Amino acid sequence: MAMMNGLYQKFPQPRVIGNTEPAKGVEAQSKERTAPSGSSNSQQQYQQYQQNMVNTASPQELTLMLYNGLIRFLRSALQFIDMKDNEKAGSSIIRSQDIISEFMCTLNMQYEISNSLMSLYDYMKRRLIEANIKKDKAIIEEVLGYAEELRDTWVQAMKIAKQQQAVNK
């Protein structure tokens, strides 16, 4: 539990990189962006809800949100490449890189595993730069595989930490 609490240093300012809503198809995302102006109140309420989620989340939950966002943006990039929309694909890849940068900036290097994670994040970020230049789906799929594995591992670590915390009470 102690390592989970300290693996990522406290985020200096809670911030949302992109959208933290559940993954949707690219078509649904495009429709939301062009929603009629009458829906601005519900959109503001949803943004407030998202901000509250971020502000009240534990560091472990914030990390999970970031992993989920990374996966969502990588999947969106793949869909946009299929649709031959290079601008939106590039934007999704850049958002993915931003999330990886956030992981790198907040990683607490006092733990032995942090060096390995830093190397992996660096590799993923370099691969995404290459994928963005080439609009290469195979590279994005490779990084997506790493992101899903890291997220799944994080979920397991959260479960173990919660069980240990319950035992210690």
> Per-residue pLDDT tens for 84-97?
999 999 999 999 99
Dist. CA 80–CA 72, nearest whole Å: 12
What's 10's DSSP letter? P
The tokens describing 28, both together, are: 């649904």
CB 131 within 8 A of CB 97: no
Instruction: Write down the pTM of the prediction.
Output: 0.76
pLDDT at 152: 98
* Among candidate residues 13, 28, 10, 38, the one with its CA nearest the CA of residue 75: 28
CA distances from 110 to 7, 59, 113 (A): 8, 17, 9
Q: In whole angstroms, what is the distance from residue 142 CA to residue 144 CA? A: 5
Kindly state the percentage of the chain with pLDDT values over 90. 62
| Average of per-residue pLDDT across 21-34 | 42
Taken in order of first residue, the domains within the chain and their CATH numbers are 60-169 (1.20.120.340)
Residue 100 has pLDDT above 80, yes or no: yes
